[in-house]
């Protein structure tokens, strides 16, 4: 019979494992969350304890299950046009002042299930109707990336989307898809998603960007990991480009390679 609880020793094993893989520091307060999200995996393999599940993962023979564990422990809440001032800054300050005719590129570096990336896409589609642009979204979780690629969401997720954008860029489902909406194909074809572990060096093939959104993910990292992540991202930010972080985050003491313009917004010299 599966134990409904996890010992401190077992929880410590998972804390170290998810830190090693994703750089995420699980506080002791997350113990209940871990049990809730992983208990079904024990049932799936008919294991009697979290210790048995950890030992199964540690064998190295179940890479897909390791990814499932990562997916379950790194999936975080997100929504369209979260922290709307950032999208206003992108439209009114960054795009309005640009002089280059080259493709305008934005990276949603912790895009989760795609709401942030598609919020950026709607903003660019409106602000750059006659100019080339593209967006890259990335996450460590393959589960949320599959959701992002589909661009298919419940209508309950539309709060925050301006009504004009909703009419123009969100296609309401009919028949078996009633109660849902699909991001318009002209936005989806300009938005690509990739699995990226931000704690590892970023492949140069991803290219360079005018703006990188790195929001609401560093709160899960310790200072050492924050510094590593920012160090990995900055080579992909073009000189003069902007790095935007979440309102509960700061780069104070993390890096001196970008200039703080205002809270949560930094620029690369």
**Positions marked catalytic:** 37, 139
For the beta sheet containing 133-139, the strands, ordered from the edge strand earlier in sequence to the opposite edge, are 191-195, 133-139, 104-108, 209-214, 237-245, 265-267, 259-262
Phi and psi at residue 219, in whole multiples of 5°? -65, -15
Residue found under tokens 């009114």: 92
Can you read off the two tokens belonging to residue 31?
């113990």
Q: CA 38 to CA 58: how far, in whole Å?
A: 15
198-221 burial, b at 16+ Cβ within 10 Å, e below that, comes to: bbeebeeebeebbbbbbbbbbebb
């Amino acid at each position: 019979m599966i134990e409904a609880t996890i010992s401190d020793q077992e929880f410590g094993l998972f804390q170290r494992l998810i830190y090693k893989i994703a750089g995420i520091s699980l506080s002791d307060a997350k113990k209940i969350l871990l049990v809730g999200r992983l208990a079904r995996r024990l049932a799936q393999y008919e294991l009697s304890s979290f210790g048995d599940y950890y030992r199964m993962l540690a064998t190295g023979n179940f890479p897909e299950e390791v990814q499932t564990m990562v997916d379950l422990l790194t999936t975080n809440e997100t929504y369209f046009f979260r922290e709307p001032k950032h999208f206003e800054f992108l439209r009114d300050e960054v795009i309005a002042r640009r002089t280059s005719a080259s493709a305008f590129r934005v990276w949603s570096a912790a895009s989760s299930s795609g709401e942030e990336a598609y919020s950026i896409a709607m903003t660019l589609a409106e602000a750059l109707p006659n100019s080339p642009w593209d967006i890259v979204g990335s996450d460590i979780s393959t589960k949320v990336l599959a959701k992002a690629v589909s661009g298919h969401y419940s209508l309950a997720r539309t709060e925050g989307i301006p009504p004009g954008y909703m009419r123009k860029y969100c296609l309401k489902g009919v028949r078996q898809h009633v109660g849902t909406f699909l991001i318009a194909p002209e936005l989806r074809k300009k938005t690509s998603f990739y699995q990226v572990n931000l704690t590892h060096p970023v492949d140069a093939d991803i290219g360079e960007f005018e703006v990188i959104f790195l929001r609401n993910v560093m709160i899960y990292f310790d200072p050492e990991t924050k510094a590593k992540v920012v160090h990995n991202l900055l080579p992909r930010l073009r000189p003069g480009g902007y790095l935007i972080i979440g309102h509960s985050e700061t780069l104070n003491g993390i890096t001196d390679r970008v200039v703080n313009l205002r809270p949560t917004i930094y620029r690369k010299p």
